[in-house]
């Protein structure tokens, strides 16, 4: 097992995740994750697991949204874990824009990659804005 990442590595992994989303860079976003990672975003949705699950999550998200802009706020690091506040402004393929906010929790492996991400936000309220 790899060593526990330091606070700078954990924060960097969180920032890279948000930067890749904003850039619309699928490859960079996927590279943020460990091979066995799990993403529950939002937490009450079925999780995406492993590379194939994460690719499917990205593809579904970008089928609906032309642009995904999540901007991280405060990041709180505790060992290999972090929580980050964020605000979102997503543009749907129909041109409508949704603004929303949430909190994500992250677990980072010793290589500085995301092992687990959980998103706490109201997907239904966001989707109502773009329908």
Which of the residues are catalytic?
Answer: 17, 41
For CA atoms 35, 33, 68, 79, the dihedral sign is positive
Q: Where are the beta strands (DSSP E) in the chain?
A: 33-40, 48-49, 65-78, 81-92, 97-108, 114-120
Q: Token pair for residue 27?
A: 């490859």
Q: Token pair for residue 105?
A: 């929790």
Q: Which helix (H) or strand (E) element contains residue 112?
A: none
Interatomic CA distance for residues 35 and 51, integer angstroms: 6
By residue count, the chain amounts to 131
């Amino acid at each position: 097992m790899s060593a526990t990442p330091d606070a700078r590595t954990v924060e960097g992994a969180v920032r890279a995740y948000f930067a890749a989303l904003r850039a619309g860079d699928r490859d960079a976003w996927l590279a943020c994750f460990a091979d066995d990672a799990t993403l529950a975003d939002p937490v009450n949705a079925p999780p995406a697991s492993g590379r194939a699950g994460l690719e499917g999550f990205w593809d579904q998200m970008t089928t609906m949204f032309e642009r995904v802009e999540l901007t991280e706020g405060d990041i709180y690091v505790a060992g290999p874990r972090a929580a980050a506040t964020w605000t979102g402004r997503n543009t749907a393929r129909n041109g409508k824009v949704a603004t929303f906010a949430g909190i994500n929790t992250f677990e980072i492996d010793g290589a500085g990659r995301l092992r687990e991400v959980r998103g706490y936000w109201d997907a239904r309220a966001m989707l109502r804005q773009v329908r």
